Amino acid sequence: MAATLLEVQQVGLNFGGVQALMDVSFSVSQGELFSIIGPNGAGKTTLFDCISGRYTPKGSIRINGVELVGQKSHLRPKLGIMRTFQNIALFPNETVEDNILVGSDYRLRSGLLRSCLYWSPLGCSRQEGSHRAQAREIMAELGVEQFANVPASELAYGTQKRVELARAMVAQPALLLLDEPMAGMTSGEKMEIAALVQKLNQERGITVVMIEHDMGVVMEISHRVLVLDFGRRIALGPPLEVIEDPLVRRAYLGEAV
């Protein structure tokens, strides 16, 4: 078994009286492709928001042993965590390349003044060039390089999803959090994205945690699956085991899938 990358321990969160997450614990190993499933409102995205710092839950979330709870959101990329959003959150007026360049930014940042000087058009450095090269490479890998100079809002939905994935990739994350990367796609597009996610996982060794509703895809590409229902973990294991679990069946049958 590979080393543990992400460790979630007894995470709980309530919004007012609503218990969004209750005592959720699991860990993800280095190099794993890990899926989170569950009916709508089960707390999947909330869990992502806890990992990526939008919410501060009870309990502990560690990456490579470093505690994340209580740390600022914008420090996540430095710790190797990048994410995509359920409803695409690209910068609509910026070009695809610029969208991706924002993601490669955090490594440049050391002191406000220095970064301002550094980024001045005159001081455009080797690093700026290498960032652009890197962005090009990622765009090519995800098949969006022909849209480099197109504003993100002008792209088709499926392409926007790819761009968002590219943007998350450029920071060379250790852990990629994908929130429904295939939602709203045709089955052909889904297959392509699934293949892409698998490729990133296998060839680049990126650990992936993915929320996805398409059970076919989840069953096919995941190493392990976590099932949430009403904020609780109801099952965790290899896909085939999980799908046979009576609790899972009840959660899904009750939900009329």
Partner 1 sequence: MDYFLGLIINGIVVGSIYSMVALGLVLIYKATEVVNFAQGELLMIGAYICLEIIHVTGMPFLVSFLMTMGFMVILALAIERLVLRRMMGAHALAVIMATIGIGIILRAVVLGVWGATSIPFPEVFPRQGIDLGVVTVSQLYLWSFILSLAFMAMFGAFFKFTRVGLVMRATASSRKAAESMGVPLTKIFAIAWIISAVVSGVGGVLTGNIAGLSPELSFYGVKVFPAVILGGLDSIVGATISGVIIGVLENLGGGYLKDLTGLHGLGPVAPFFILVAILWVRPTGLFGRKDIEKL
Residues lying near partner 1 in the complex (CB under 8 A) are found at 52-54, 72-78, 82-83, 85, 87, 89-94, 98-99, 101-103, 105-106, 108-109, 112, 115-116, 119-121, 128, 167, 171
Cβ 87 to partner 1 shortest distance, Å: 5
The residue (of 38 and 53) whose beta carbon lies closer to partner 1 is 53
Distance CA 121, CA 144 (A): 26
Place of tokens 């806890």: 50
The answer to whether 46 touches 21, Cβ cutoff 8 Å, is: yes
The minimum distance between CB 150 and partner 1, in angstroms, equals 16
The encoded tokens of residue 120 equal 């001045």
Nearer to partner 1, 103 or 231 (CB): 103
CB-nearer residue toward partner 1: 25 or 172:
172
Q: Which amino acid appears at position 257 of this protein?
A: V
What are 253's two structure tokens?
């049958």
Report the residue number, 177 or 221, with the smaller CB distance to partner 1. 177
Q: Three-state DSSP class for 10?
A: strand
Q: How far is the CB of 159 from partner 1 (least distance, A)?
A: 17
Three-class DSSP category at 91: coil
User: How deeply is 176 buried, as exposed, middle or buried, from its count of CB atoms within 10 A (0-12, 13-18, 19+)?
Assistant: buried
CB of 89 to partner 1, least distance (A): 4
Question: What is the closest distance, in whole angstroms, from the C-beta atom of residue 239 to partner 1 in the complex?
Answer: 28
**Dmax over Cα atoms in the chain, in whole Å?**
64
Nearer to partner 1, 2 or 89 (CB): 89
Which string of DSSP letters, residue by residue, matches 150-177? SBGGGS-HHHHHHHHHHHHHTT--SEEE
Min. distance of Cβ 154 from partner 1 in angstroms? 14
Is 162 or 167 the residue whose CB approaches partner 1 more closely?
A: 167
Contacts of 134-139 with C-beta under 8 Å, sequence gap 24+, read: 134/104, 134/170, 135/97, 135/100, 135/101, 135/104, 135/170, 136/97, 138/100, 138/166, 138/169, 138/170, 139/96, 139/97, 139/100, 139/166
Question: CB 77 → partner 1: shortest distance, Å?
Answer: 4
Given the complex with partner 1, which of 36 and 82 has the nearer CB atom?
82
